[in-house]
Amino acid sequence: MYGPVMLDLVGLELTQEECELLTHPAVGGVILFARNYLNRHQLKQLIAAIRAIRPNVLVAVDQEGGRVQRFDEGFVTIPPMRALGDYYDQTPAKAEKLARDVGWLMATELRDVGVDFSFAPVLDLDTGNSQVIGTRAFHRNPATITTLAGAFIEGLKEAGCASVGKHFPGHGFVQADSHTEIPVDTRSLPQLERDLSPFAALIKQGLDGIMPAHVIYTEVDRQPAGFSRYWLQQKLRTEYNFKGVIFSDDLSMEGASVAGDMAARVDLAQQAGCDMLLICNDRTLVSEVLDHMSVSASLESQTRLAKMAAPPAQQSQLRRQMMSERFSQTVQQITWLRQKYNKLHYD
């Protein structure tokens, strides 16, 4: 069964402490960062070691492209999603097809090393205000985001990876970076509809997971979205009929600090409706949560989480995909796109 806590690792190999943590019933996921990657061979060994200890564990990564690409050498360098958005402004049909192929290629590479899914795509609008979002967003137009992200998600699914849209209900308007600050969005609910529309549309199209923002929308709720029953229960589960997984953003981020200490953050996030809780970059906090708190996932959460696991695939099948004409052509198109828009300093 899948526990509700997703933790990180300190390096390229499991430590003894991490081996012990992985056996805890509350652990259900591991998120990997650049510090965990040396090359494809090492990464496969690390993930195999994780699964040897805990077979039922979700292995995830933030692999978006652009400045958010944790695995670099040995992986195709993906441009930021804004490059696809600008390409769409010129040739919509070609850009939509390439978005699908980029999703397929990214998922194929991740599955080849044993990763279940990436926390992608970003569904935020780029309003020009947020530097932390910026070119991670496909576009400023919600309809364009829906089209390109929808195609990207289709590519992910085709290769066997689930999708996670972020940062609900939209992080693109606020200037503050929730990693280091507490962002506040003072717009009314009607004013937020443009930000919400890609999430609403893509939920209907089968979005698998959603990550809420550590942003306080003061005209709607006093709590950040990830701790808000209004946003997660009323809006997502009831109004949008979202059946997938709700992942908290990293609970150690400054944007989550308004909820209190880590015990309060975990309780509030679960009460609001998060299925899986990310606790990164602070091993002491992880140990405190696992050792001193009663953290368990409901049967409904466990059922949802199980659907995020990538289906079994033969290594030979994945190798054939990576040696296929489609893969090589997509690499060529990605290289061309990166070069075409490099002068705009997307990275």
- Residue 168's nearest CA partner among 212, 121, 222 is 212
Q: Look over the chain and give the mean of its residue pLDDT values, rounded to a whole number.
A: 92
Q: What is the DSSP string of 115-184?
A: --EES--B-----S--TTTGGGSS-SSHHHHHHHHHHHHHHHHHTT-B-EEEEET--SS--S-TTTS--E
- Per-residue exposure over 270-284, b if at least 16 CB sit within 10 Å of its own CB, e if not: bebbbbbbbbbeebe
Per-residue confidence (pLDDT) for residue 344, from 0 to 100: 60
**Which domains, ranges and CATH numbers included, belong to the chain?**
62-268+317-344 (3.20.20.300)
pLDDT of residue 178 exceeding 70, the answer is no
Region of poorest pLDDT, from 29-33, 145-149, 160-164, 309-313: 309-313
249 part of the active site: yes
What confidence tier does 346 reach under pLDDT thresholds 50, 70, 90?
Answer: low
pLDDT in tens, 281-300: 888 888 888 876 677 778 89
- Per-residue pLDDT tens over the stretch 219-274: 999 999 999 999 999 999 999 999 999 999 999 877 777 877 888 899 999 999 99
Coil, helix or strand for 27? Answer: strand
Active-site residue, selected from the candidate residues 112, 195, 249, 275: 249
pLDDT for 164 beyond 60: yes
CB 277 within 8 A of CB 288: no
Q: Given this model, what pLDDT does residue 343 score?
A: 62
In this predicted structure, the answer to whether residue 57 has a pLDDT above a threshold of 60 is: yes
pLDDT tops 80 at residue 314: no
Residue type, 81: M
Token code pair at residue 266: 């975990």
Helix, strand, coil percentages for the chain (3-state, nearest 5) = 50, 15, 40
Catalytic residue among 177, 179, 282, 347: 179
Contact (CB, 8 A) for 28 and 275: no
Give pLDDT tens digits for 71-116: 999 999 999 999 999 999 999 999 999 999 999 999 999 999 999 9
Higher pLDDT, 1 or 125: 125
Per-residue model confidence (pLDDT) at position 253: 79
